[in-house]
Structure 1
Amino acid sequence: MSKVRYGIIGIGNMGSGHANTLKSGAIAGAELTAVCDGIESKRAWAREKWSDVAVFEDSASMIASGLVDAVIVACPHYDHPSEAIQAFAQGMHVLIEKPAGVYAKQVREMNDAAAASGRKFGIVYNQRMNPLYRKLRELISSGELGEIRRTNWIITNWYRPQAYYDSGTWRATWAGEGGGVLINQCPHNLDLWQWTIGMMPTRIRAFCQNGKHRNIEVENDVTAYAEYANGATGVFITSTADAPGTNRFEVTGERGKIVIEDGKMTFWRLREPEPEFNARNRTPFAGPECWKIEIPDQGPSPEHAGIIRNFTDAILSGTELVAPGEEGIRGLTISNAIHLSSWIDGWVDLPLDEELHLAELNKRIATSSYRKEAPAADASKPADLTGTF
């Protein structure tokens, strides 16, 4: 194969963005050959915009056409796993938009299908391409920060007014979206939280407030506390109603702390590891010598184009994936655990009890304000949704 022919499932905001990236010629070895969408107005728009791209009503027809080698799944959250599973069964390489899905059980099934297919599987975690977070991961994995002791991420610059939530009946509903700020705005942050430090929590206690300062049924204000196997702790705070918001990620280790804020990274580096200083020091109120280091600008982030380029290279030449699709379950598991902790008002241990989470989610779907005109969903899973967003 000398070129990857892409088909896009769903041409809403993200799908059309990926289409424009592919059509721009920015991705060597890739071309857009087909798109599909269940909404006629979207299909008409696509035909007018890209006269040389085949347009289909559904993904099955697009895949069966023989015009595509890989698909980008950019439909609503609940459909990501089912669309991916169908594509793997037909021999497609699959790149899914975030989140990997709404609940871990369906994502685990998708991961199994990917493994059985032998095809490339990626997720659009474009923030893994951001040089700041790549540098943070490098400094931690190399041991420069020492063993992690604490993480704090306050990510409240996801401001969304009521008009945003009113722009679609599916928005901020349990049946339409499966959650609020955690499932829509924060998947990248939750992924980076575990990816940069290289470990998952062992248990989580969280508090979610639904519809705080907004007329919505899902969470838009969250405070979560995490514990790790090595004794480290973490706090994750997010909101869509703070103005102005904050984006500050702080990681403390035995050799100092690193802070990412306002697009800059600062490393407060201890001259010696804190445990060593503490063991030899005999002076009350003394502290280890610390150097403030401004990490040089790491350059621009290639964002979404970088992920598509990396995925294309993986198909054509076996390049290692920056964001393997199988890893989408990690950030989603943290999201599910935060939800579940708030729902049951208690601690949640990881590995996650996926059946309990799904049962609690289905309770909220049953009373959700969103109603799609379709046959009732099987009681074992949330309603299947179609369309674009």
Structure 2
Amino acid sequence: MGRKSLGIAVVGYGAMHNFGWMHAKWIQSCPRTQLVGICDLSEERRKGAKEDFPTAKIYNSTQEIWDDDEVDMVTLVTPNFTHCELAKEAFANGKHVLTENAMALNGTECDQMVKAAAAAGRSLCVHHNRRHDGNYRIIKEVIESGVIGDIFQIELTPTWYLNPFKGATTELWWGDKERSGGLFFYYGSQAFDWILDLLPGKKITGVNGFAHKQAWFNVTNEDQVTAILKFDNGAVAQFTESYIDASPRPFWRILGSKGAIVDNEGAQIPGYQKQINAPSCGEIEIFTGDVDGNTTKRKKPYKDSDWDEFYADLAAHILDGAPNPVSGEVGRRVLSIVDAAKESIETNQTVVPTWEAE
């Protein structure tokens, strides 16, 4: 065993999705992490953080964090476009970094972060903790059991018909494509991490992207985006996120050489951003067939969503030398897929992600 506790400061306690509060709760729930403090530029948000976490230090600036020897690591819960510079500043001051996903705005920024971490001898981790969603956990378990055979097609489709930013304007950074990166950064960065995790060791040979802007003009993000990923073993993955799709579709549809998995319920796991973990809340369908055309369907319940385990794994990595739960190199690969999809949309060509060799 190494050191007993990892001191963490949360940077960002803003209004988007309650993430600053949630990270602080996850940190407090882990026996080997300590919530040292919270930083935000807004006086109102600092006041709210102090009310929510009265024993935590409240920082007015990141410089106060860099000067605090109790802080070993920062968790960046700030807008995507700030992650790169904040991470590099943290590494220059000897701190480890966990950044919310998406890791940054593009693969080039991710590469700078990876290199800065290596130069400083510090760890860089990306918070893809949706690997701990209960539906994803059972999907991965079934795939690894071999029940549906070798995966050759993945369809991941979070779709709705609604305006996700009703009443908002581009003053909201998340609705401004220039600052947010566009719709691929809402569900896409997590989706691509899931897909890569389900196809370990497989290389992407090409990405085709598509985008539509049809209905919600109060913001500049796309209304629908699609990316089709082709892998070196012949597998294909298609991701579509839409807010202009009025037809219900499965969230997951995964085809294997012996069967298939369908998940109709997993687009939104109740409790995320609101509680430390969550009990099973749905079920997947598993289909298998035979040479005579007979198909059998059975159901398996979701596992519990153990989101709090991410910080436990991260503490074990930094304190004990265990594997990094999601390294900066993985985050860079995810963002290089987003880059390739966006380039494909602009050029109408198939694009190979820049860092696919990782």
| TM-score tier after normalising by the smaller chain length | 0.7 to 0.9
Q: Which runs of 5+ in 1 are unaligned?
A: 272-276, 278-285, 354-389
What's the TM-score once normalised by structure 2's chain length?
0.83
Q: Distance in 2 between matches of 1:168 and 1:109?
A: 28
Q: Which of the residues 15, 18, 21 maps onto 2:20?
A: 15
Question: Aligned in 2, Cα 1:130/1:322: closer, same or farther, shift over 3 Å?
Answer: farther
How far apart, CA to CA, are the structure 1 residues paired with 2:259 and 2:236?
15
Structure 1 counterpart of 2:97: 94
Q: In the superposition, relative to structure 1, how do residues 141 and 113 fare at CA in structure 2: closer, same or farther (>3 Å)?
A: farther
Q: 1:65 to 1:242 in 2, by over 3 A?
A: same
Check whether the contact 2:153–2:236 (CA below 8 A) recurs between aligned residues: yes
Indicate which of 233, 237, 240 corresponds to 2:240.
Answer: 237
C-alpha distance in structure 2 between counterparts of 1:174 and 1:294, whole Å? 40
- Which of residues 4, 7, 30 is equivalent to 2:6? 4
Alignment partner of 1:52 is 2:55: yes
Which structure 2 residue ranges, 5 or more long, are not aligned? Answer: 266-281
1:267 aligns with 2:286: yes
User: Partner of 1:190: helix, strand, or coil?
Assistant: helix
CA distance in 2, matches of 1:58, 1:264: 45
C-alpha contact 1:128 1:322 (8 A) present in aligned 2 = no
Answering whether residue 260 of structure 2 is matched by residue 257 of structure 1, we say: yes
- Alignment partner for residue 312 of structure 2, among 289, 309, 312? 309
Q: Which residue of 1 aligns with 2:304?
A: 300
Closer, same or farther in 2 for the Cα pair 1:245/1:332, shift >3 Å? farther
**1:348 Cα deviation (Å)?**
1.5
- Of all paired residues, the percent bearing the same amino acid is 25
- Give the corresponding residue for 1:359: none
Letter in 2 for 1:20: K
Compare 184-193 and 165-174 and name the one that shifted more: 165-174
Matched with 1:350 is 353
Corresponding residue to 1:202 among 201, 205, 208: 205
Task: Give the 3-state SS of the residue equivalent to 1:95 in structure 2.
Answer: strand
Aligned to 1:189: 191
SS of 1:293's equivalent in the other structure is strand
Q: Which amino acid aligns with 1:302?
A: D
CA–CA separation in structure 1 for the residues paired with 2:250 and 2:12: 30
**How many corresponding residue pairs?**
334
Deviation string, structure 1 residues 225-257 (Cα, Å, up to 9, x no partner):
222212222322111344576452112122222
Cα separation, 2, equivalents of 1:233 and 1:2: 44
Counterpart contact for 1:151–1:249, Cα < 8 Å: yes
Partner of 1:367: none
Residue aligning to 2:270: none
Secondary structure of 2:254's counterpart equals strand
- Read off the aligned partner of 2:86 and give its amino acid letter: E
Partner of 1:385: none
The aligned residue for residue 380 of structure 1 is none
Counterpart residue identity of residue 125, structure 2: G
- Secondary structure of 1:176's aligned partner: helix
What SS does the aligned partner of 1:219 have? coil
TM-score by length of 1: 0.77
Q: How far 1:72 moved relative to its partner?
A: 0.5
Whichever residue aligns with residue 21 of structure 1, its letter is: W
Matching residue's letter, 1:215: N
In structure 2, relative to structure 1, the CA distance for the partners of 1:37 and 1:327 (3 Å cut) is: same
Cα distance in 2 for residues equivalent to 1:190 and 1:164? 29
In the alignment, is the contact (CA less than 8 A) between 1:202 and 1:351 conserved in 2? Answer: no
Match of 1:29 in 2: 32
Larger C-alpha radius of gyration, 1 or 2? 1
Q: Using the alignment, how far apart are the partners of 1:138 and 1:115 within structure 2?
A: 33
Structure 1 contact 211–217 (Cα < 8 Å) conserved: no
1:224 pairs with 2:243? no
Q: Deviations over 1:301-356 (max 9, x none)?
A: 022x2222221232333343433333112222222222111122222123369xxx
In 2: Cα distance, 1:102 partner to 1:2 partner: 34
Change (3 A) 1:245 1:81: farther
Tell me how large the CA RMSD over aligned residues is.
2.6
Q: Does 1:115 align with 2:131?
A: no
- Quote the Cα distance in structure 1 between the aligned partners of 2:339 and 2:313: 28
